[in-house]
């Protein structure tokens, strides 16, 4: 059996829109903000360091080396935090020990710093290190680390003979940096979480509203069809066995059957379900019985759902015009090996045709192939004389 | 013409029973011998070997009316004794709350073959029914020829296939589903999409006979998976199937 797969343009643009642009949650945004804020804090300290080293032009290379190490460790801490979304504990510890403790002591011991002013820039880095520690480490670890910083810096300043006012001021800023950063983070993350919860509630309410609207829609449809028919039959006066009454009953039973299948699973797939239903509804009044089976329809972009609906309508119209059986089979399922894709088939058991001698009619070409191609989908027609016709639609193609 | 196939129907919808009775009345090869609202009502008492098929039935019309009303199938006239029909049409969900699997097993024990029917294709229940040993499944919206063909297939020891059963198996994602080969899956999916077995076979490049084999095998796998308790009976039935197939 030949497979008629006409060349179609594949427009992939829609695939991108299916994966919504990842806007972080409120919590993620709070964390990103804290990463940026502590980075700026550290950057201000490093700037002081660069200026101090440049100004004093120390003879010993240790000052330059110390500055380079501080820059490298800072890049490590904030670089990984930026990449991963939050601070990595190991690099934070490295920063604390290297720039917070070792660097000032080394400068005191061998860096030729014999007065407070020359190691001031290195001491300053302790402030931004304690800020990061307070938010990146467990509470106990953070307290221990800040204690360690205080002791080290006290010892360092003592060694260079700083005045008590300088020492107290510096230790105060070490602790205050940590405390303030912790408070900021606590507040922002709390707000972020609250925002996330509010968003989740809003989304749930939206979904609920959509389901309610859908139910109303169904009720309206039931009122106009099944209820009206049953009421008429109950009142008597019409012959329930008349062909047109039976046909109407069969049509409405088929509608109910599809409705139950569509609403059976909790997954919300309003777009594709509604589009298919519309397509089936449009041909059902025209002496075509449609046996529809749905399974795990995924959520697809509205454009794709609309295209599928149009293509199915045309395929069903083809069955109606050419199959001569008055019966079409429609299946729609989630792509078994796919990632949110959908496969729809429209099948008839009519005479089929010879695909080698067949010029695709305007309907199949325009409304099925081109319509699917427009949204990045694919259509294939499979038939042989005496074999019926099978139209398969896939999205994405 | 082959011998008349006896059919019993278990459904709690009176209107459907009446409708089926009128329908089957038009088919000379089938005889509706009992109708009931529940399996218990149909079976009444343990089967009695003395009674021949169809005894007490004075024609399908009176039978099913008395059956539904009195509640003892066709044997209302002769006392509560049920003679197993060749094929029982069993509604998937009965209002008495009985489990479909239990209903099926009870009917199979009497030696009948079971064709499930339901209004809406409830896929997990269909799978459950096939695992319990039901031989086929149809929704109630099929036309008479389809129903008759399915009953005849079952009575002849063949299995009856339907689009909705194939769809249920093809899209079964329960953890207990049997492993299907790619070929079995392809035929199953194509048949489930509405293709005739002939077209599905042509698409796969195999004969219709082989395609039907694949569908049979899929069903057998399901039945195998859910068959622990009545092996003996099943064996007997298999022997019967084999001899019928051979002939």
Q: What percent of chain A has pLDDT over 70?
A: 87
SS3 for A106-135 is HHHHHCCCCCHHHHHHHHHHHHHHHHHHHH
Is B199 within 8 Å of A387 when comparing Cβ atoms? yes
Contacts of A201 (CB under 8 A, 6+ apart): none
pLDDT value, residue B55: 39
- A346 forms beta bridges with A330, A391
Q: Is pLDDT larger for residue A116 or for residue A187? A: A187
B189-207 pLDDT, tens digit each: 999 999 999 999 999 999 9
Residue of A264, A347, A383, A388 to mutate, interface with B, max B Cβ within 10 Å: A347
Give me the domains of chain A, ranges plus CATH numbers. Answer: 26-198 (no CATH), 267-395 (3.30.565.10)
Q: Over 50: is that where the pLDDT of A18 sits?
A: no
Is the Cβ pair A331, B193 closer than 8 Å? yes
CATH number at residue B63: 3.40.50.2300
What local confidence, expressed as pLDDT, does residue B50 receive? 40
In the predicted structure, residue A99 carries a pLDDT above the cut 60: yes
Q: Splitting chain B (247 residues) into consecutive groups of 10 residues, what average pLDDT does each group show?
A: 84 87 90 91 62 39 38 46 87 87 92 90 87 90 89 90 91 85 92 93 93 91 70 58 48
Residue A113 is predicted with a pLDDT of: 60
In terms of average pLDDT, the best of A55-59, A72-76, B222-226 is A72-76
- Model pLDDT, residue A369: 87
Provide the pairing of β-strand B87-91 with B5-10.
parallel
| pLDDT above 90 as % of chain A | 33
Q: Residue B121: its chain A contacts at CB < 8 A?
A: 257, 261, 293
CA nearest to B206 within chain A: A1
Contact with chain A for residue B120, Cβ under 8 A = yes
d(CA B215, CA A366): 36
CA-based nearest distance B59→chain A, Å: 24
In whole angstroms, give the CA distance from residue A223 to residue A215.
12
A54 touches chain B (CB under 8 A): no
* Cβ–Cβ < 8 Å for B21, B32: yes
3-class DSSP state of B44: strand
Q: Which residues of A touch B194 (CB under 8 A)?
A: 291, 328-331, 345, 347-349, 390
What is the average per-residue pLDDT within A345-363? 78
pLDDT digits (tens, 9 = 90+) for B61-104: 334 433 333 344 444 444 556 788 999 999 988 888 888 899 99
Task: Pinpoint the alpha helices (H) of B2-116.
Answer: 14-24, 39-43, 60-70, 100-109
> Which among B18, B19, B149 has a CA at the least distance from the CA of A246?
B19
What is the DSSP code (8-state) at residue B73?
A: G
Mutate to test the interface with A, among B168, B191, B194 (most CBs of A within 10 A): B194
DSSP 8-state class, residue B74: G
**Are B163 and A261 an interchain contact pair (Cβ–Cβ within 8 Å)?**
no
Q: What is the mean pLDDT of residues A342-351?
A: 93
Q: Which two tokens stand for residue B154?
A: 């079952």
pLDDT for residue A187: 94
pLDDT of residue B215: 92
Return the bridge partners of A329, or none.
A291, A347
User: Contact at 8 Å (CB) between A347 and B193?
Assistant: yes
Q: Which residues of A touch B123 (CB under 8 A)?
A: 295
Q: Which chain A residues have a beta carbon less than 8 Å from that of B119?
A: 253, 257
Higher pLDDT, residue A260 or B231: A260
Q: Is B195 on the interface with A (CB under 8 A)?
A: yes
Helices (H), chain B: 14-24, 39-43, 60-70, 100-109, 123-131, 144-155, 163-170, 182-192, 197-204, 208-225, 231-246
Confidence of residue A338 (pLDDT cuts 50, 70, 90): low
Mean pLDDT of A216-220: 80
The predicted structure's pLDDT at residue B77: 47
pLDDT at B186: 92
- CA–CA dist B82, B33 (Å, integer): 10
Out of A256, A293, A382, the one facing B121 most closely (by C-beta) is A293
Pairs across A and B, CB distance < 8 A: 65
Under an 8 A CB cutoff, do A1 and B199 touch? yes
Which residue shows structure tokens 């700026």?
A40
- Mean pLDDT confidence for A158-170: 87
> Of the candidates B128, B188, B144, B184, which has an alpha carbon nearest to the alpha carbon of residue B164?
B188
Nearest by CB: A331 against B167, B196, B199: B167
Lowest average pLDDT, out of A39-48, A176-185, A252-261, A353-362, goes to: A353-362
A293 and B192 in contact by Cβ < 8 A?
yes
Q: Which two tokens stand for residue B122?
A: 């409830």
Q: What is the pTM of this model?
A: 0.61
Q: Mapped to the 3 state alphabet, what secondary structure does chain A carry?
A: CCEECCCCCCCCHHHHHHCCCCCCCHHHHHHHHHHHHHHHHHHHHHHHHHHHHHHHCCCCCHHHHHHHHHHHHHHHHHHHHHHHCCCCHHHHHHHHHHHHHHHHHHHHHHCCCCCHHHHHHHHHHHHHHHHHHHHHCCHHHHHHHHHHHHHHHHHHHHHCCCCHHHHHHHHHHHHHHHHHHHHHHHHHHHHHHHHHHHHHHHHHHHHHHHHHHHHHHHHHHHHHHHHHHHHHHHCCCCCCCCHHHHHHHHHHHHHHHHHHHHHHCCCCCHHHHHHHHHHHHHHHCCCCEEEEEEECCCCCCHHHHHHHHHHHHHHHHHHHHHHCCCEEEEEEEECCCCCCCEEEEEEECCCCCCHHHCCCCHHHHHHHHHHHHHCCCEEEEEECCCCCEEEEEEECC
Nearest-CA neighbor of B8 among B56, B67, B77?
Answer: B67
Task: Report how many domains make up chain B.
Answer: 1
Greatest distance between any 2 Cα atoms in chain B: 56
Q: Is A91 left (phi over 0), alpha (psi -120 to 50) or beta?
A: alpha
Output the pLDDT for position B236: 64
Q: Quote the domain boundaries for residue B21.
A: 5-246
Q: What is the mean pLDDT of residues A387-395?
A: 91
* Cβ–Cβ < 8 Å for A351, A323: yes
Helix A103-110 crosses helix A116-136 at what angle (to 10 degrees)? Answer: 160
Which residues, including other chains, have CB under 8 Å from residue B209's CB and lie 6 or more apart?
Answer: none
Alpha-carbon gap, residue B106 to B219, rounded angstroms:
20
Residue B129 distance to chain A (closest CA, Å): 19
Q: How many whole angstroms separate alpha carbon A290 and alpha carbon A330? A: 7
The pLDDT assigned to A344 comes to 94
Alpha-carbon distance B246 to B243, whole Å?
A: 5
Angstrom CA distances, B78 to A332, B73, B81, B109, B130, stand at: 51, 10, 7, 22, 33
Q: Do A349 and B163 touch (CB under 8 A)?
A: no
**What three-state secondary structure class fits B144?**
helix
Rounded distance between C-alpha atoms, residue A321 and residue A342, angstroms = 26
A253 lies within 8 A of chain B by CB: yes
Q: What is the spatial distance between Cα B108 and Cα B104, in angstroms, rounded to a whole number?
A: 6
How many Cβ atoms from other residues are within 10 Å of residue B192's Cβ?
A: 27
First to last CA, chain B: 16
Per-residue pLDDT at B87: 94
Q: Is B158 helix (H, G, I), strand (E, B) or coil?
A: coil
Contact B136, B126 (CB under 8 A): no
- Residue B229 is given by DSSP the state S
Mutate to test the interface with B, among A260, A291, A349 (most CBs of B within 10 A): A291
* Neighbouring-strand partners of residue A345: A331, A392
Judged by CB atoms closer than 8 Å, whether chains meet at B163 and A387 is answered as no
Q: Are B7 and B151 in contact (CB under 8 A)?
A: yes
Which of A313, A221, A306 is closest to A271 using CA atoms? A306
How far is it, in rounded angstroms, from Cα A177 to Cα A172? 8
pLDDT beyond 60 at A382: yes
* A30, burial (CB in 10 Å: exposed 0-12, middle 13-18, buried 19+): buried
Task: Tell me the β-bridge partners of B90.
Answer: B10, B116
Selecting from A260, A293, A388 the residue whose C-beta is nearest the C-beta of B196 gives A388
Q: Which residue of B has its CA nearest to A3?
A: B203
Q: Output the average pLDDT for chain A.
A: 83
């Amino acid at each position: 059996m030949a497979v008629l797969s006409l060349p179609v343009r594949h427009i992939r643009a829609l695939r991108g829109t299916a994966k919504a642009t990842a806007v972080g949650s409120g919590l993620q945004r709070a964390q990103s903000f804290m990463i940026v804020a502590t980075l700026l804090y550290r950057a201000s300290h490093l700037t002081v360091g660069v200026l101090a080293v440049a100004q004093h032009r120390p003879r010993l290379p240790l000052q330059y080396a110390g500055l380079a190490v501080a820059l490298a460790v800072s890049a490590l801490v904030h670089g990984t935090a930026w990449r991963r979304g939050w601070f990595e504990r190991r690099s934070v510890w490295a920063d604390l020990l290297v720039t917070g403790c070792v660097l000032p002591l080394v400068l005191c011991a061998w860096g030729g710093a014999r007065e407070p002013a020359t190691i001031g820039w290195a001491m300053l880095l302790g402030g931004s290190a304690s800020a990061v520690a307070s938010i990146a480490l467990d509470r106990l670890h953070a307290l221990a680390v800040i204690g360690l910083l205080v002791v080290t810096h006290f010892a360092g300043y003592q060694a260079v003979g700083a005045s008590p006012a300088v020492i107290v001021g510096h230790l105060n800023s070490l602790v205050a940096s940590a405390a303030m950063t912790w408070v900021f983070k606590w507040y922002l993350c709390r707000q972020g979480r609250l925002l996330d919860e509010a968003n989740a509630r809003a989304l749930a309410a939206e979904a609920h509203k959509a389901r309610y609207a859908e139910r109303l829609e169904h009720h309206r449809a039931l009122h106009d069809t099944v209820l009206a028919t049953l009421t008429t039959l109950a009142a008597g006066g019409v012959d329930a066995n008349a062909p047109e009454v039976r046909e109407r009953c069969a049509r409405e039973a088929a509608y109910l059957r599809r409705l139950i299948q569509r609403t059976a699973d909790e997954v919300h797939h309003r777009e594709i379900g509604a589009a298919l239903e519309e397509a089936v509804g449009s041909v059902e009044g025209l002496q075509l019985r449609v046996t529809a089976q749905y399974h795990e329809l995924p959520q697809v972009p509205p454009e794709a759902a609309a295209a599928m609906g149009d293509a199915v309508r045309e395929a069903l119209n083809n069955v109606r015009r050419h199959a001569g059986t008055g019966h079409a089979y429609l299946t729609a399922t989630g792509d078994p090996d796919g990632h949110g894709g959908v496969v729809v088939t429209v099948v008839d058991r009519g005479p089929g045709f010879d695909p080698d001698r067949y010029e695709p009619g305007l309907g199949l070409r325009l409304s099925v192939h081109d319509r699917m191609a427009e949204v990045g989908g694919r259509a294939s027609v499979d038939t042989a004389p005496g074999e019926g016709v099978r139209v398969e639609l896939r999205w994405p193609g | 013409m082959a011998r008349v196939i006896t059919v019993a129907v278990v459904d709690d919808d009176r209107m459907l029973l009446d409708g089926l009775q009128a329908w089957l009345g038009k088919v000379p090869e089938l005889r509706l011998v009992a109708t009931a609202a529940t399996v218990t009502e149909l079976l009444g008492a343990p089967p009695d070997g003395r009674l021949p098929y169809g005894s007490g039935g004075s024609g399908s019309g009176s039978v099913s009316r008395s059956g539904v009303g009195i509640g003892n199938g066709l044997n209302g006239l002769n006392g509560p004794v049920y003679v197993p029909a060749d094929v029982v049409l069993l509604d998937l969900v009965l209002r008495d709350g009985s489990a479909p699997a239990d209903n099926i097993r009870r009917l199979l024990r009497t030696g009948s073959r079971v064709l499930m029917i339901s209004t809406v294709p409830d896929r997990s229940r269909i799978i459950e029914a096939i695992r319990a040993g039901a031989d086929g499944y149809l929704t109630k919206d099929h036309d008479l020829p389809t129903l008759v063909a399915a009953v005849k297939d079952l009575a002849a020891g063949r299995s009856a296939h339907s689009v909705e059963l194939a769809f249920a198996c093809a899209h079964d994602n329960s953890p207990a589903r049997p492993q299907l080969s790619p070929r079995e899956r392809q035929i199953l999916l194509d048949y489930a999409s509405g293709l005739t077995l002939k077209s599905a076979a042509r698409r796969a490049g195999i004969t219709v006979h082989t395609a039907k084999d694949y569908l049979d095998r899929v069903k057998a796998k399901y039945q195998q998976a859910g068959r622990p308790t009545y092996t003996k009976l099943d064996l007997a039935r298999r022997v019967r199937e084999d001899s019928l197939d051979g002939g």
